A and B are shown apart, each in its own frame.
Chain A
Amino acid sequence: KNQVEQSPQSLIILEGKNCTLQCNYTVSPFSNLRWYKQDTGRGPVSLTIMTFSENTKSNGRYTATLDADTKQSSLHITASQLSDSASYICVVTSLGGNRKLIWGLGTSLAVNP
């Protein structure tokens, strides 16, 4: 069964600190993996996208990694800001005639002053 699991479920950090969010998936065949940021009451916004051959991709203070062998991804946030408080969702696209997004439940991040 295609699944995407994220950890931790929630996380609280102090402003300025770094943090790493984890994503494990069992989606096969694999097309790509995205990390989305969803602010409360808003739609998801794409942060990064990685295909099978990419190991790391950065977007400002966000750096995503992908290990296609172990089917694991991480999202590292550097020098966190209050505006980073949001839900971070890992999404895997399955490859095939009917491509679908398999969504994780997200990690709820709270950045406190």
Chain B
Amino acid sequence: NAGVMQNPRHLVRRRGQEARLRCSPMKGHSHVYWYRQLPEEGLKFMVYLQKENIIDESGMPKERFSAEFPKEGPSILRIQQVVRGDSAAYFCASSPFAEVGEAFFGQGTRLTVV
């Protein structure tokens, strides 16, 4: 079991471009959580998804951000028209059931907007 895989590890985008962050959960895990960590700050919950469903998106900005977890393939966090303030580390975690405290984290994607 390779663990939670995120790619790319580093992503550089110019202002106004789109950023797509991918997360492949651990085998057998159908629950995915996305977090954002700004420099010198703690992790902030963004969205919780179960296969094909968004369960809780209370931490997602209302505009430009979207997430999906299709029946087949990885979970995708999409940021449209990126701005400098989107520069952060984005972490994905997965769990085998709806117990967020049992989630395992990926290595993160570090997004830099230039």
Contact = CB atoms under 8 A, between A and B. Distances in A.
Interface of A: 31-32, 34, 41-45, 49, 89, 91, 93, 98-101, 103-106
B105 A31 contact: no
A105 B42 contact: yes
Interface in B1-60: 4, 41-45, 56
Interface stretch (B70-78, B79-87, B106-114): B106-114
Given A41-B108, A43-B4, A34 B43 contact: no
A8 B69 CA distance: 38
A103 B42 contact: yes
Q: How large is the interface on B (under 10, 10 to 19, 20 to 34, 35 or more residues)?
A: 10 to 19
Contacts, number: 44
Contacts of A93: 100-101
B101 A89 contact: no
A75 to B, nearest CB: 16
A91 B44 CA distance: 12
Given A32-B101, A43-B91, A100 B107 contact: no
Contact of A41 (B41, B100, B101, B110): B110
